[in-house]
A and B are shown apart, each in its own frame.
Chain A
Amino acid sequence: MPNEETAVLELGVAAARPRGVVLLVDDDDVVLALLQATLARLPHLVVVARNGAEALAQAREHRPDLVVLDVTMPGLDGVEVCRRLRADDATRAAKIVLLSACAQPDDQARGIDAGADVYLTKPFRPGELLQRLTQLADWSS
């Protein structure tokens, strides 16, 4: 595994101009703040949402390249949001990362079935998350 610190720095250097939109969705303020802090150095436009409905509205509006979705949320849960993003032509292309505090294999399968590209469990390490996002979005190129 590469050194996370390096990954952060590389990204920070490489990202000289805005490269797209990232949508962060979590109902927990602390986790949302952590996600924002993790991605703070990226030159992307970061959009946040606190529940599923809000996430769908934001996605429709901002056409994100990348969506980080919490699974357990009031109303529409992350898996359902993921399914709907995939069903909508406008948002189908986004890379989707599901972030869940449920570590059961069933949950993971559910998430992948719904069309998620990556399924990560909480607690996650910011460096690792950033690296996965980088690979996924192919930002380093």
Chain B
Amino acid sequence: VNRSGPFPLRTGVPLGTAFFIVAVVLVALGGLVAGLSVQGASPEATWPTLAFFALLTVLAEHFAPQIDSRTKTSVSVVIILGATLYAGVLGSLAAVLAYAVYVKVRAGSPPHRMLFNFGMALLAAQSSGWAFGLLVPDGPARGSFELMLVPAAFAGLVYYGVNHLLLSGVRGAAEGRAFWHIWAADYAWLWPHYPVLGVLGLLVALTYHAFGWSAVVALAAPVGMMQVAIRQYVARTTANIRQLESLNEELQREIAQRRATEEENARLVRQAARVAALEELSRLKSEFISIASHELRTPLTGILGFSELLSTGAITEEDQRQRYQRMVYEQAEQLAALVDNLLDVSRIEAGRVELHPTALDLEEVVRSVVEPIRATAPGHALSWEIELAGRRVLADPGKMRQVLVNLVGNAVKYSPGGGAVTVAARPEPTGGLVRISVTDHGLGIAPELLDRVFDRFQRVDTADTRGIRGTGLGLYIVKELVELHGGRVEVESEVGRGSTFHVTLPASRLPDAADTEERRETIHA
């Protein structure tokens, strides 16, 4: 059997709540006075009887098991109803007063709460007594039990209704919620208990009437045992729940901790990756510096050495002298190209490369790149094959030349044994794009290095390539320039078989013949 416990009012009662409480207490007391003056005191309301019911109420409340912070089983309602049915308004008053004072003492609740509990319970008890009196005008002592069952149940329901209406009202006022919400959420489920409490109250009243206080105490014994059992059960269940809750908390903590650890780990992994990337960059940079210094020193050796020999007059033969002078010039040129590359990279990295794209005649560009290289690479068979059907490439002529010089230069450089080097250009079947491919039959690139060949400072460093000059900048410049054009670079290679570098660039639309002529002139001009 359940009933709601004291409503949760904080100290410092809001004005509305205070009014509500005062009103309830005044109505209850008014009802009391009115009942007494209209009907007079019940003849059964003797001092011993009232004292007995008051004591019984306190005992019932004392042993009532607490189910949770809000809910308590309440045999005390049975006693209050029994007192009401047996001794009328004075019975109610005695039991309710005992109840309110006990709750105050026991729970240490503030005075306004005691006041409200008193008023509420008194009003509920009076209402139920009044309802019972309507149906059984002669009082419980003189009716037959079967005929009083339904009125008693009805009285219980009235008690429930008044009690919880007031409870919802005062909580609503305190919590700022509509009282029916509180009712529906917290109290609606309780109603079936109260007819039973009413009948039990009737039973207490009749037993007291028939057999006196000892019979009621005997009747209370099994109820008390049941209460104790329920208390035990609740205590254990609560302990179990607590244990579960603490386990759950522990789990939550552990999960949070684990999550934090994971985050920390992820952070460390990210940091390690950053550090590794920085270390790799720094390694590449110092490698670059040593390569660049090597690449600078080699032509400088030729320039300084031959200049010295020439200037000291150690070379007397005229053809030797001319040959060495040419070498000085070539080495100086190589040095200039290297410096250009370095400047290009710094320009690219600073984002200061400007493009002036025009519709290029690719064949012309390729020829102008391949011819001079062919002259310096007699061991290679350089050829080109342009099948663009009048299509042109949208590109900056100077940058495009640079891309092709680097690619064809690499193709020659990395095929030390000679062999065919071909430049091919074809429209992509998907349209709108032109693909230029430079193929050699040289050393090739190992698969694990393929995706890094376009990186800065990255050189294919193997025993085969160690003697080949290079700074690791050429392909990086190619990639950056092509991507600036909105194109992309790709490479296919097989060690020992050679490599093919593909450059895909946007094509201008297919022009008609006149248009082609016109553009050719524009470019030539």
- How many pairs of A and B residues are in contact by the CB < 8 Å rule? 91
Cβ of A74: which chain B residues have Cβ within 8 Å of it? 463-468
Q: How many residues on the B side are at the interface (Cβ–Cβ under 8 A)?
A: 31
Minimum CB distance partner of A70 in chain B: B467
Q: How far is the CA of A130 from the CA of B324 in the complex (A)?
A: 18
Q: Are B306 and A34 in contact (CB under 8 A)?
A: yes
B69 CB–A CB distance under 8 Å: no
The number of chain A residues touching the other chain, given as a range, is 20 to 34
Report the nearest A residue to B320, measured CB to CB: A37
Are A102 and B290 in touch, CB under 8 angstroms? yes
Q: With contacts A34-B305, A122-B297, A125-B305 known, is A73 near B312, CB below 8 A?
A: no
Question: Residues of A contacting B327 with CB < 8 Å?
Answer: 30, 33-34
B484 on the A face (CB < 8 A): no
**Interchain CA distance A34-B297 in the complex, whole Å:** 14
Separation of A77 and B294 alpha carbons in the complex (Å): 15
Q: What is the CA–CA distance of A51 and B468 in the complex, to the nearest angstrom?
A: 12
Q: Which B residues from 428 to 483 make CB contacts under 8 A with A?
A: 463-469
Q: Does B126 contact A (CB under 8 A)?
A: no
Main secondary structure of the interface of B (DSSP, over half): helix
Bound complex: CA A77 to CA B365 (Å):
39
A124 to B: closest C-beta gap in Å? 7
**Contact string against A for B residues 86-118, beta-carbon threshold 8 Å, 1 for contact and 0 otherwise:** 000000000000000000000000000000000
Contacts of B298 in A (CB 8 A): 28, 30-31, 101, 122
Q: For the complex, is B302 an interface residue (Cβ under 8 Å from A)?
A: yes
For this complex, 11 residue pairs linking A to B, each with C-beta atoms less than 8 Å apart, are A4-B312, A27-B467, A30-B299, A34-B302, A34-B306, A34-B327, A41-B314, A74-B464, A75-B463, A102-B290, A127-B312
Is B300 an interface residue, CB under 8 A from the partner? yes
**Contacts A38-B309, A122-B297 supplied; 17 other A-B pairs, CB < 8 Å:** A28-B298, A30-B302, A30-B331, A31-B298, A31-B301, A33-B327, A34-B301, A37-B309, A37-B320, A38-B305, A51-B467, A72-B294, A75-B463, A102-B294, A122-B301, A124-B301, A125-B304
Complex CA distance for A127 and B312, rounded to whole angstroms: 9
Q: How far is the CA of A19 from the CA of B468 in the complex (A)?
A: 35
* Closest A-B pairs by Cβ, 6 of them: A74-B467, A123-B301, A27-B467, A101-B297, A30-B302, A34-B305
B150 contacts chain A at the CB level, 8 A cutoff: no
Q: B residues bordering A, Cβ < 8 Å?
A: 290, 293-294, 297-306, 308-309, 312-315, 320, 324, 327, 330-331, 463-469
Given known contacts A8-B312, A103-B293, A126-B305, A37 and B467 CB-to-CB distance under 8 angstroms: no
Assembly CA distance A122 to B308 (angstroms): 14
- Chain A's closest residue to B327 (CB) is A30
A5 within 8 A of B: yes
A121 on interface, CB distance cutoff 8 Å: yes
**What is the chain B residue whose CB lies nearest that of A129?**
B305
A104: Cβ under 8 A from any B Cβ: yes
What's the minimum C-beta distance from B326 to chain A, rounded to whole angstroms? 11
Interface residues of chain A: helix, strand, loop or mixed (majority):
loop
Nearest opposing residue in chain A for B416, CB measure: A74
B residues in contact with A102, CB < 8 Å: 290, 293-294
Residues of B within 8 A of A34 (CB): 301-302, 305-306, 309, 327
A125–B469 CA distance with the chains assembled, in angstroms: 22
Given contacts A72-B294, A102-B294, contact A124 B305 (CB under 8 A): yes
Q: Which of A37, A51, A123 contacts B315 (CB 8 A)?
A: A37
Complex formed: what's the CA distance from A28 to B469 in Å?
Answer: 9
Interface pair A31/B294, CB less than 8 Å apart: no
**B468 closest partner in A (C-beta):** A74
A123 touches B312 (CB 8 A): no
Does the CB pair B324–A37 fall under 8 Å? yes
Of all chain A residues, the one with the shortest Cβ separation from B328 is A30
A27 CA / B298 CA spacing, docked (Å): 11
Q: In the complex the two chains form, what is the Cα distance from A102 to B327 in whole Å? A: 22
Nearest-neighbour CB distance to chain B for A139, whole angstroms, equals 17
In contact, B300 and A123 (Cβ under 8 angstroms) = yes
A125 to B302 alpha-carbon distance, docked (Å): 10
The minimal Cβ–Cβ distance linking B330 to chain A, given in whole angstroms, is 8
Least Cβ–Cβ distance between B450 and chain A, in angstroms: 21
Chain B min CB distance to A112 (Å): 19
Are A72 and B309 interface neighbours, CB within 8 A? no
Q: Which chain B residues lie closer than 8 Å to A125 at the CB level?
A: 304-305, 308
On chain A, the residues within 8 Å of B299 by CB distance are: 30
Q: Are B293 and A101 in contact (CB under 8 A)?
A: yes
- Nearest CB of chain B from residue A126's CB, rounded to whole Å: 5
User: A124 CA to B305 CA in the complex, in Å?
Assistant: 7
The chain A residue with its CB closest to the CB of B466 is A74
Cα of A104 to Cα of B465 in the assembled complex, Å: 21
Q: Is the CB of A101 within 8 A of B312?
A: no
Give the nearest-CB partner of B317 in chain A. Answer: A40
Q: Which of B308, B312, B320, B467 contacts A72 (CB 8 A)?
A: B467
Shortest distance between the CB of A127 and any CB in chain B (Å): 7
Q: In the bound complex, do residue A123 and residue B314 qualify as a contact, i.e. CB atoms below 8 Å apart?
A: no
Least Cβ distance of A83 to chain B in Å? Answer: 16
